[in-house]
Chain A
Amino acid sequence: MKTNNSEGCALCNATWGEYWREIDGENMPFCCNICADIFQEMVRRVKENTGWDKIDYINLEGNYSKGRNCTATNGDRKYSYYFRTYSDGKFITFEER
């Protein structure tokens, strides 16, 4: 799985820290465990809502404060959604858009 955040953390693109976690069989870079927790939960919700068994690519726009507008891609299928979390990673909102 790839994201548009190619420089650093797969969720926020920060280059501080270096924390790795396996998500769906792929070792992915994060700046910290909280970003990894958020990303993992986001992937779980996307797969639950779509019924997909895999995600090829996720485009994430936004930030912690305003939330993130995202589009997940699986082959030629797309799923757009928005989510926002507390600073500890707990989800406040996750909705299809």
Chain B
Amino acid sequence: MTRCPVCLVQMNDTIARLSDHFYALQLKNNADHIMWLNRYIGKQRFGQDELELKFEKFFRTASLKEWIISNFVRKFYGDPPHMFILEMQHPKEYVLKGYAMEHHHFLKQWVRSCASIISNTDMEDVQAFEIENIVSEWYGAGDSRPSHHELLLRMGESLGVSRDAIYKSEPLPATKRAVEAWSMMSRDFTFVEGMAAMHSLELVASRNIRKYGATMGYFDPVILEDGSITEEAANFLGEGYNADVAHSETALDLIEKYSKEMRNTQDCQAVFLKSIEVFDDYLNARLERGMMLEDKQQ
């Protein structure tokens, strides 16, 4: 089976048919498929046979985990890194304000996706992983270990964005589209595809990201101690910085293990690729929200 990384249609066939699918749709000027070709295969058109070879090369891998990491780093930490990551190195207040508001909507969906993954599997190691994830991200473990979401709300409050304002906000259109895509991918696809869609995203804040070829981290760690951001912001970023290492690495191992058993590696690649495209726009929405809150909108 192969799945299209753009329209997510599943084809009962090989990579060659996926390549044909793209070739036919670019002839019809389909914007989404053409943009994908431009970003992942190249901007210069070539023939159908050569496109098939490029597709086979692009999707070929001995390790899904390594393939996901490599493509994630290339997209978000390549030359140059994503604009949000550049802004996060020494973040101005508007960046963290936008982060606080939009990420609330992300996290609400996150725990729903974790629950969808649980409901789609009988595998207890996966269920245990997702339960632990829901607790740390949303529920917390008593006063001494507030959830990631609670730390996010405290960061917002420290910057003058009340939790009431965050709860009453509607997600920006890009965030809404992303949330809807993640909801669908974790609910309607196999649990391992749902995991590939969601947990690959935790790589963004992984401390190991430089080991994988990134030229910078999620932020310059000096901001956790130099007083340039609020204590609450440092608590939020510091907690995520440490926690997401374990989350993303364990999840990628589970994804690799079960995609091999279920023989759906390419489907996982496709949903991962869809997920990072909507994540790209979602990161931009954090910046747009920040500009709106600071009235910096052009």
Contacts and interface: CB of A to CB of B under 8 A. Distances in A.
A86 B279 CA distance: 11
Interface residues of B, number: 26
Interface in A65-97: 65-67, 84, 86-88, 90, 92-95
Interface in B32-56: 34-35, 37-39, 43-45
Given A12-B43, A16-B37, A90 B173 contact: yes
A34 interface: yes
A12 to B, nearest CB: 7
Contact of A19 (B29, B35, B37, B288): B29
B288 A65 contact: no
Nearest to B43: A14
Binding site of A, secondary structure by majority: helix, strand, loop or mixed?
loop
B298 interface: yes
A33 interface: yes
A86 B38 contact: no
Interface bin, chain A: 20 to 34
A33 B287 contact: no
B35 A32 contact: yes
A15 to B, nearest CB: 4
Nearest to B78: A65
Contact of A18 (B29, B38, B43, B288): B29
B183 interface: no
A93 B298 contact: yes
B31 interface: yes
A33 B32 CA distance: 10
A62 B120 CA distance: 42
Interface of B: 26-27, 29-31, 34-35, 37-39, 43-45, 78, 80, 82-83, 173-174, 277, 280-281, 284, 287-288, 298
Interface of A: 8, 12-19, 31-35, 64-67, 84, 86-88, 90, 92-95
Given A16-B43, A66-B83, A87-B280, 9 more contacts: A12-B38, A14-B45, A16-B26, A17-B31, A31-B34, A65-B80, A67-B83, A86-B281, A93-B298
